[in-house]
Amino acid sequence: MQKLIAIFLFALFLFSGCTKQEPIEPLPLEQPSEEPQIEPAAAPEVKYPKIASWLAKKDEIIQSKKPYSLVMAGWFTPEEANQIKSQTPNSLLLAGLSTNWIWGNKDWMEFLETVASHGKEVPLEITESMYLKTPSGEKCAFGWASEEWGHEEIYSMDPRSQEWKELIISFYKNVLDQPQHDGIIVDMVVEKQYWCPDAISDEEWLFATKEIMQEISEQNTQGKLVVFNAGLKYEDIDEYKEYMDGYVMENFLGEWGADYETGLEAANSDYIIIYAVDTDDTGETDLKRMRLGLTLSLLNDNTYFTYDFGPRDHGQAWWFSEYDAELGEPIGVYYSTSGAYWREFENGVVVSSPHENISIVFEEEYTDATTGESSKTFSIEEGDGRIFIKK
């Protein structure tokens, strides 16, 4: 039951905040004639901390002029890409939707159809026959509709439908073909149809979904990055491991998300891992949880960190003082001592203390990136983390 609840809650649909933003304009897919083409950056050199944005509010990111290392959204125009990369030249920009789900929002659906139809003599359209339906003819609903949040329902598409496969594969091909995109994201990835098991067997769902992902992979001729939303943890999507380069751990450290041990275990791999910490849809920023997630992300080199409102409204360009810490390059791997996890950098030390209060005594003075206090001695509460910069 807990797994079903977790999967239900990990809705990260791309335009979940669309009702609070400007309508999505249909996008002509043409190669920019005046803007310089942006080459994909598969292994960028970026500063630490490595800050990401999942389902980003692009206008906020651009206006903030902050150095985001990884930005994920539905689409980037060449102009948006250049504005983001003017601040962080090696920033990775990943775009995409979902391979198995549709949000019943008119603008969202028009966007999907417009991108998918590029290069087609006959436009591709979402039709009733593409939806996954129960034996009684009901569409398979996710349970996302909400008057409180102003959200329409999310529906499952039938991965066995040839028409749906053509549409979604065409969408991802056109996303991949755009030079401003360094890769793609795939949201709401699941191995089983938990909501309507009587509509399709587990074996059929998995087989048909893998066929879609395989065909998208074949369209990725430039070897661009592919990041999935794992929801809780890797084991929930490991059947698709051959099709992804990394995954998002949504609600990390939250009410239903993975704990710190699962996060550290995930980072012990060749995958890119995004620790997506949030406010559990409350808007109440838990700075201890934010710092714990941030410092945990600094223990490994394949991890990014993001902090936002939550599944109902992702992608705020929130920026905290700790993000500006000039740590330099890491010196070696992290280690555990004095009840916490430590990692040394050229210009400082990161300490993450998930399970107990600790006291720290340095031989020289450091400055706490959170408080600005300089000292040789510091205290960190359980469930918190700190970045210390050499004076």
pLDDT value for 8: 36
Structure-block tokens of residue 16? 């979940």
Band (4; pLDDT cuts 50, 70, 90): very low
346 and 290 in a common domain: no
For 253, residues 6+ apart whose C-beta sits below 8 A from its C-beta are 259, 260, 263, 275, 277, 289, 292, 293
Bridge partners of 335, per DSSP, are 342
Cα dist. 35→38, 77, 89 in Å? 9, 10, 15
Region 66-71: mean pLDDT is 97
User: What pLDDT sits at residue 22?
Assistant: 35
- Assess whether 124 and 67 both reside in one domain: yes
How far is Cα 370 from Cα 364, in angstroms, rounded to an integer? 18
**Sorting pLDDT into bands at 50, 70 and 90, what band is 45?**
low
What's the pLDDT at 288?
98
Count structural domains, the chain: 2
Residue ranges making up the domain that contains 133: 2-324
343 and 301 in one domain? no
Mean pLDDT of 280-308: 98
The CA distance from 312 to 332, in Å, is: 38
Contacts of 242 (CB under 8 A, 6+ apart): none
CATH number at residue 231: 3.20.20.70
Please check whether residue 149 is in contact with residue 95, taking contact to mean a CB–CB distance below 8 angstroms.
no
The domain spanning residue 350 has which CATH number?
Answer: 2.60.40.1180
27 in the same domain as 75: yes
Say whether pLDDT at 364 is over 60: yes
Chain segment 193-252, per-residue pLDDT in tens? 999 999 999 999 999 999 999 999 999 999 999 999 999 999 999 999 999 999 999 999
| Block residue for tokens 């074949």 | 218
Interval 259-277: pLDDT, tens: 999 999 999 999 999 999 9
**Cβ contacts of residue 42 below 8 Å, gap of 6+?**
182, 223, 224, 225
CA distance 353 to 384: 6
For residue 142 the two structure tokens come to 């996710």
Is 369 a residue whose pLDDT tops 50?
yes
- Residue whose tokens read 């310089």: 36
Average pLDDT over residues 131-153: 97
Domain boundary among 300, 324, 348: 324
Given a cut of 50, whether residue 89 has pLDDT beyond it is yes
Say if residue 296 is in the same domain as residue 346. Answer: no
Domain boundary among 299, 324, 349: 324
**In angstroms, rounded to a whole number, what is the distance separating the alpha carbons of residues 110 and 39?**
28
Rg of the chain over all Cα atoms, to the nearest angstrom: 21
Hey, is 162 helix, strand or coil? helix
pLDDT at 40 over 70: no
Average pLDDT over all residues of the chain: 90
Q: Within this chain, do residues 315 and 333 fall inside the same structural domain, yes or no? A: no
Length of the chain: 391
Q: If we measure between CA atoms, which residue out of 62, 94, 102, 59 comes closest to residue 75?
A: 94
Residues 339 and 300 in one domain: no
* Whether residue 352 has pLDDT greater than 90: yes
Domain boundary at 324, 344, 374, which? 324
Cβ contact 104:112 at 8 Å: no
Mean pLDDT of 298-324: 98
Give, to the nearest 10 degrees, the angle between helix 162-177 and helix 202-219.
Answer: 30
What pLDDT score was predicted for residue 15?
Answer: 43
Q: Both 300 and 333 in a single domain?
A: no
Per-residue pLDDT tens over the stretch 7-37: 333 344 444 434 333 333 445 554 433 343 4
pLDDT at 338: 84
* Beta strands at 330-337 and 340-345: parallel, antiparallel or unpaired: antiparallel
Q: Are 136 and 220 contained in the same domain?
A: yes
Cα(186)–Cα(70) distance, rounded to whole angstroms? Answer: 15
> Given a cut of 70, is residue 174 above it in pLDDT?
yes
Are 161 and 178 part of one and the same domain?
yes
Q: Say if residue 300 is in the same domain as residue 341.
A: no
Q: What is the mean pLDDT of residues 61-70?
A: 97
First to last CA, the chain: 51
Mean pLDDT of 154-170: 98
- pLDDT (0 to 100) of residue 27: 52
Same structural domain for residues 26 and 157? yes
Buried b (16+ CB within 10 A) or exposed e, 33-53: eeeeebebbeeeebbbbbbbb
